[in-house]
Amino acid sequence: MPQLPENPTLADFQTYVIRLEEERGFSSQTVLEKCLLLGEEVGELFKAVRKAEAIKIDAASTAYHAGEELADILIYLCAIANRYGIDLERAFREKEVINHQRCWH
């Protein structure tokens, strides 16, 4: 089982996800498959938020937990980035340079 170092960087998470996928047999999944799975997790996050905000949900539906769904989303984001060879930290920093130039009024 892969291990994350103490105080991992975003690059550590991406490396962890590579090993995780190899171990669990998911490394052959396509970007399209990962995007669909990511979409499912986002839906589960929305249900968790609805539950947390006391918005009515179907009593028979599965209860989701925001923290778990966010973790799943991070895994899928890392997996998609890895398939495209994207360094998420660098992409984040570059995007923030663009965002800082925008007017947010």
CATH code where residue 92 lies = 1.10.287.1080
Residue 90, CB-side half-sphere exposure with 13 Å CA sphere:
7
What confidence score (pLDDT) does residue 6 get? 95
Q: Are 34 and 83 spatial neighbours (Cβ–Cβ below 8 Å)?
A: yes
Low-confidence ranges of the chain (pLDDT < 70): none
Count of domains observed in the chain: 1
Q: Count of CB atoms within 10 A of residue 49's CB?
A: 13
Helix intervals (H) in 1-105: 10-24, 31-52, 66-84, 88-100
What confidence score (pLDDT) does residue 61 get? 80
Query: Is 20 within the bounds of a domain?
Result: yes
Q: Are 59 and 87 spatial neighbours (Cβ–Cβ below 8 Å)?
A: no
Q: Which domain holds residue 29?
A: 10-100
Query: Is 43 within the bounds of a domain?
Result: yes
What confidence score (pLDDT) does residue 60 get? 80
Query: Is 3 within the bounds of a domain?
Result: no
What confidence score (pLDDT) does residue 4 get? 95
